[in-house]
Structure 1
Amino acid sequence: MNWGAQSEFGFMKQVLMFRPGDEVGMVDRYGPESMDYRQPVSIAKFQDEFDQLAAAFTAEGCRIELVNDILKDDADVQRYISRRPNMVFTRDLAAVTYGGAIISRMARKTRRGDTFVIKRALERLGVPILTEIRLPGTVEGGDYIFLDEKTLAMGWGTRTNEAGIDQVREALLGKYIDELVVVSMKYDATHLDGLLMMVDHKLAVGNSHDLNMYPTTVYRVGQEPRHIFIDDYFEEKEIEIMEGKANFGIKPGVLLNVKMVYETTVGLEKRGYKVYEIDGEMHWRAGSAPHCLTCPLVRDRVGQ
């Protein structure tokens, strides 16, 4: 198997997900803020939103691997996840590159132990482990955005720190990517995927105001780091930023979004994109979007 998902819009052939269940009840037990949720959620409604997401993926030919099924006979894992309401957010726990999986090290205590579950599931599937983020580094999967298969943007903020980014740079730059673009994010931004998403080679959807608050740093092998604002960088790359929110690429020309950000959907449909819409109230209450519920394992290479 040729593992790797170094694209945000290449055909997603295989994805690792976790269907929410009774563990979400811990949000009521301890309170939303204690579990990094915005508000309490309905388990049944959250499951329905997950099922809508999975149905769209299946309709487009994507194979879904469920952590729930892969590790159903692992007693240690089952005991652990029964009290971990954030397991549904598989995106943050790992990123699967052409060299193998990078296992995250989570910044928040609400998630710190969860990576052993995703690592065990990946190993059970046969995905090689490229590296694991170590102290003092923190990296979360929502801070990876591939601009193309050889260019990785990473968010530097509250969840992913410089030490973690340095470890990713060491693992990937000059081996599996040619360029690393470090985006310094505003103080209250959680992950880069909440500010930026590529939908095609030359089109991104995002919040250009917040993305341009601070300069980015561009790394290439054998060159001094370059400091440039992202709008200037995108102009050089001939990438347009369409103002909008939270979309997810299933394959070229086919996207998914939540109904509450319909203005983004309308804008994309006017450009000729097919956009699946799913309910998103529980996503919002959980402080998430569809992207957060996915850890892509295999995407088609789409070149540049």
Structure 2
Amino acid sequence: MPNTTFQTDVGKIKRILLKHVKDAFRNEQQIEQEWKALHFLDKPDRNNAIREYDALCDLLTGFGIELEFLPETENTTLDSLYPRDNALATNGGMILCTMGKQNRQTEPEHHNTFYAQTQTNVLGEITSPGSVEGGDVAWLQNNVLAVANGYRTNPAGIAQLKQMVSPLVSDFIEVPLPHFRGPSDVFHLMSIISPIADDLAVVYSPLMPVPFRQYLLDTGVRLVEVPEQEYDSQGCNVLAVAPGVCVAVEGNPITHQRLLDAGAEVHTFKGKDICEKGCGGPTCLTRPLEREVS
């Protein structure tokens, strides 16, 4: 019988938390005021973004996933479209993040309100000067938690997180990130790895620390390599909805073929306005709340 767990990024998703783009991109005035300041690559087309998002929701519903939505809020930005970053899921409860990106500081409080309303246990909260963003945290096989040390997640936040999860994990791995395009860029741990199954992950090796990449290989993880020309189009940002079954943005044919060759099942959606312009793929768009493992 399947067991419910929160400590996996590849188990079958049962419930997922979203922020609908119509509520994150509230109106044209907000989009005009914010997109450049938030370092979007281009101004989003709200109407097309809604069409893309509704198609994504239909895709997720087709897997039998229960969708839950954060409400529209006046004190959040376009970036609230990406709720993965605001909280972490553990078997002890949710951990609220403190955002490394200053424009996003208000987002976790809305998660906290949602968890209170839905009677979802909250284990703790990362507090300033510590920062942890959910895109910098990934569950690996054997109950291992990998956490990036970069511009969005800092040593003080990592220390707090390690203390909170120490009774719950078998190992805690810190992964130093490169400078790459600097502090204004959207660069997380999950910019270079997306777990697809316990023994399979999509990776962008040119930006991976050698010890972390070697750890994956030593623990039997097969690596699907994203080519350079598909990195900026979110080729490395892939959401596992069940072991070996994944959702990805259209437009990365080499990566998708390599996933198929590795035995994965790939489902794609259009994401020009909800993914590519804001530099956030399907993992960023979703905060899985409940998964099943055999």
| Cα distance between partner residues in 2 of 1:3 and 1:200 | 16
Is 1:14 the counterpart of 2:15? The answer is yes
| Cα distance between partner residues in 2 of 1:290 and 1:25 | 23
The Cα offsets for residues 139-182 of structure 1, whole Å up to 9 and x where unpaired, read as: 00101111125101111111000110111100002x11110111
| Cα distance between partner residues in 2 of 1:248 and 1:295 | 10
Aligned to 2:233: none
Is 1:241 the counterpart of 2:232? The answer is no
Aligned to 1:91: 84
Aligned to 2:204: 207
Is 1:272 the counterpart of 2:260? The answer is no
Aligned to 1:73: none
| Cα distance between partner residues in 1 of 2:4 and 2:220 | 29
- The share of aligned pairs that are identical, in percent, is 24
Q: 1:251 aligns with which of 211, 226, 242?
A: 242
Corresponding residue SS for 1:105? coil
| Cα distance between partner residues in 2 of 1:24 and 1:198 | 35
Aligned to 1:65: 68
| Cα distance between partner residues in 1 of 2:114 and 2:4 | 14
| Cα distance between partner residues in 1 of 2:110 and 2:41 | 24
Q: CA deviation at 1:4?
A: 4.7
8 Å contact from structure 2 (residues 32, 43) kept in 1: no
Corresponding residue SS for 2:293? coil
Aligned to 1:74: none
Aligned to 1:224: none
Counterpart residue identity of residue 16, structure 1: L
8 Å contact from structure 1 (residues 139, 159) kept in 2: yes
Which runs of structure 2 are paired with 1:30-49 in the superposition (5 Å)?
30-49=33-52
Q: State the TM-score, normalizing by the size of structure 1.
A: 0.85
Aligned to 2:230: none
Q: CA deviation at 1:204?
A: 1.3
Aligned to 1:232: 214
Is 1:147 the counterpart of 2:140? The answer is yes
Q: CA deviation at 1:48?
A: 1.8
Counterpart residue identity of residue 134, structure 2: G
8 Å contact from structure 2 (residues 13, 65) kept in 1: yes
Unaligned runs of 5+ in 2: 181-185, 227-235
Pair 1:36–1:117, CA change in 2 (3 A):
farther
The Cα offsets for residues 52-83 of structure 1, whole Å up to 9 and x where unpaired, read as: 22111111111000113xxxxxxxx74435xx
Q: CA deviation at 1:191?
A: 0.7
8 Å contact from structure 1 (residues 207, 243) kept in 2: yes
| Cα distance between partner residues in 2 of 1:110 and 1:143 | 17
The Cα offsets for residues 261-298 of structure 1, whole Å up to 9 and x where unpaired, read as: 22111111223322111012111111211111111100
8 Å contact from structure 2 (residues 31, 78) kept in 1: no
Q: 1:80 aligns with which of 75, 79, 82?
A: 75
Corresponding residue SS for 1:110? helix
Counterpart residue identity of residue 80, structure 1: N
| Cα distance between partner residues in 2 of 1:26 and 1:152 | 40
8 Å contact from structure 1 (residues 3, 100) kept in 2: no
| Cα distance between partner residues in 2 of 1:212 and 1:27 | 38
Q: 1:106 aligns with which of 99, 107, 114?
A: 99
Q: CA deviation at 1:26?
A: 5.0
| Cα distance between partner residues in 2 of 1:43 and 1:233 | 42
RMSD: 1.8
Q: State the TM-score, normalizing by the size of structure 2.
A: 0.88
Unaligned runs of 5+ in 1: 69-76, 214-228
Pair 1:199–1:24, CA change in 2 (3 A):
farther
| Cα distance between partner residues in 2 of 1:231 and 1:286 | 27
Q: CA deviation at 1:49?
A: 1.8
